[in-house]
Chains A and B, each alone.
Chain A
């Protein structure tokens, strides 16, 4: 039923092998966050002492209070959320459309088009900042959400298109052909059959787009600005970019910034593994 690699019936050796891979990998992955969360509740005297030790000498929420009371942290979050959700929604739709068109279309120049979208990545971002800001300013979009959403969409688009293209390619063509037989237009096939079947790909792409936008610093800083609309990374950077690096609040703020993204992942992650088979049965 489930199309997992060697699901069920596989030997114990494989399962043990998987655990041997996963345990250190998870430890590697989560350690910095755990360590950061632990540090963020250490009392200042402990954190800034020469030998802070591993565990806090008692929980001190002082750094969190400083972040939450001392900065408009909730507003940063809302700003990031607005930009992240808007740009993700747009980029997922555009990328799914283009990815499908490139995967299934037979028109000339497909390879050229799929490669040419990579131009967005040809230069380091820092080189794009100035001309992009000129462009966005000329469009009258600097300093507001539409400008930064546009830019995030554009810079996430190539990656997302390539991902979607791959996922659409791996779908069996017969299901779509059956849809044609049933009288669906090409657009109908895309919307009713292919897109639902590609749910794991869509979910992956959405996570990718959202995290990129949520965590992006440079373009947000320049285009959206560091005034009232600043996003989380721009707000957090203030703890680092000052004359005195403020580790305590920085770690509290980072811990707070990571949590919503993990919650979001929790919401969509089932999609990543739950998509194809359910759809295929229906198709």
Chain B
């Protein structure tokens, strides 16, 4: 899989031709459907201002995106690109205000589950023209574009980059505990390893991160439920937290929480992972690769001790795709927006961007799924991690998207019913059944209110 597309080796040159020779030359816009002007230099309505929101907060990515914008300005004289950095936790505050005030950006990065409700609100333009320009769905990892972005017959977003949740472990601490994990560990193997590696009070096998400030708990239960062959809700908007699979997954998490995780587990967020792993507070952690990439830069000694396996496997491997995507809000400059979105995938803008923080981002473009990306020294060093990631991206789903993009997924995770249930079991003394049935009710009412509005 790595170093090839559908088994065929791929060179840098193919990448250019195959994907975006046109975009690299800065003329992609002229060809985009709906563009009025055939004046390649300043297409659309004669340049103008383009507003781009992205959630890439680290300086390396901020700087790179600014360079992309500068290049775009150069190839589109008269155009200015204004960038706003909108960190994910604040996206839900900024977006509604902009939507209500009619000042949406022209291009934004977005999570797939958020994009569906934006689409319903009528706030997004379709991505079809950009996808066509890039060469259609086959330009991306097989099946990816449809399973995360094809909704009601339209492509509402395109993945900018992807990752898959993996189970990372500290090799030093795990072997010191006399434990080990195969590449596809079962639930029991993970539980045993986590328990063995727990050395209270400052080292825990698998510190859970169940704060209701993010969706870490919800994602975790999703992965395990998926692994057990179940679902959190079905395609018709029925909550399924009362099913046997969800119950098993919950019991597993509770067992980890009680015997291999520590105090404070109800306060930690996903982005605390890096500190927890580095401090050796947790020996195992569900990661996206970002944590390893950051460690490779900031704490190389620790990074050298990190390895990954797939998430615990029962009936299925517990994949979960993260697909940070590009969408086109109804801004002021839709034509330019399409050109800019395509420009993000141009050769000089794509793989070099993924390499700004190696292991943080993995390619969504098929043509980039090759040596140009994987030969980077840091990535080559973690070949297994990269391979597991790409496998998961092909096999797995974005959270709650088993049937493709779902209008329910966003609300389910945003309701935090799952984090609340796990907290009430682990610190509130509730029973698994009681907590799940309460959560199921909350979830059902959330889903019902979505259903009624979809009408």
Contact = CB atoms under 8 A, between A and B. Distances in A.
Question: In the complex they form, do A and B come into direct contact, defined as C-beta atoms under 8 angstroms apart?
Answer: yes
Is the contact region of chain A dominated by helix, strand, or loop, or is it mixed?
A: helix
A226 interface: yes
Nearest to A225: B84
Contacts, number: 103
Interface in A210-263: 218, 221-222, 225-228, 230, 237-248
A49 interface: yes
B59 interface: yes
A133 B83 contact: no
10 contacts: A50-B279, A50-B281, A133-B101, A222-B97, A227-B84, A241-B89, A242-B88, A244-B271, A244-B294, A248-B298
A239 B57 contact: yes
A248 B294 CA distance: 13
A218 B94 CA distance: 9
Contacts of A48: 274-275, 278-279, 298-299, 302
Contact of A137 (B55, B93, B103, B288): B103
A278 B134 CA distance: 75
B59 A243 contact: no
B298 A242 contact: no
Nearest to B274: A244
Contact of A130 (B55, B100, B288, B291): B100
A207 to B, nearest CB: 28
Contact of A227 (B82, B294, B302, B360): B82
A230 B84 CA distance: 9
Given A48-B274, A48-B278, A239-B57, 10 more contacts: A66-B59, A134-B100, A222-B93, A226-B85, A226-B86, A240-B87, A241-B88, A241-B90, A244-B290, A246-B58
Most buried by B among A71, A138, A244: A244
Nearest to B59: A70
Given A70-B59, A134-B100, A245 B82 contact: no
B244 interface: no
Q: Interface range on chain A: under 10, 10 to 19, 20 to 34, or 35 or more? A: 35 or more
B202 interface: yes
A224 to B, nearest CB: 10
Nearest to A49: B279
B87 A237 contact: yes
A112 interface: no
A226 B93 contact: no
B57 A241 contact: yes
A30 interface: no
Contacts of B85: 226-227, 230, 238
Interface string B275-307: 100111100000010110010001101100000
Interface string B411-441: 0000000000000000000000000000000
Interface string A149-169: 000000000000000000000
A243 B59 CA distance: 13
A238 B57 CA distance: 5
A129 interface: yes
Given A48-B299, A133-B100, A245 B89 contact: no
A221 B98 contact: no
Interface of A: 44-45, 48-51, 66, 70-71, 126, 129-131, 133-134, 137-138, 142, 218, 221-222, 225-228, 230, 237-248
A273 B446 CA distance: 56
B40 to A, nearest CB: 28
Task: Kindly state the interface size class of chain B when it binds its partner.
Answer: 35 or more
B273 interface: yes
A195 B288 CA distance: 60
B115 to A, nearest CB: 18
Closest 4 A/B residue pairs (Cβ): A241-B87, A70-B59, A242-B57, A50-B279
B288 A243 contact: yes
B102 to A, nearest CB: 7
B38 interface: no
A210 to B, nearest CB: 24
B77 interface: no
A222 B271 contact: no
B270 interface: yes
A148 to B, nearest CB: 13
Nearest to A136: B101
Contacts of B301: 45
B122 interface: no
Given A70-B59, A221-B94, A244 B291 contact: yes
Contacts of A218: 93
B276 to A, nearest CB: 9
B391 interface: no
Nearest to B52: A227
A228 B85 CA distance: 10
A59 B412 CA distance: 47
Contact of B94 (A222, A228, A239, A247): A222
A50 B84 CA distance: 35
B290 to A, nearest CB: 5
Contacts of B269: 245
Nearest to B85: A226
A228 B52 CA distance: 13
A236 to B, nearest CB: 11
B330 to A, nearest CB: 15
Nearest to A222: B97
A194 B166 CA distance: 68
B45 interface: no
A271 B11 CA distance: 71
B280 to A, nearest CB: 4
B255 interface: no
A255 B102 CA distance: 37
B391 to A, nearest CB: 21
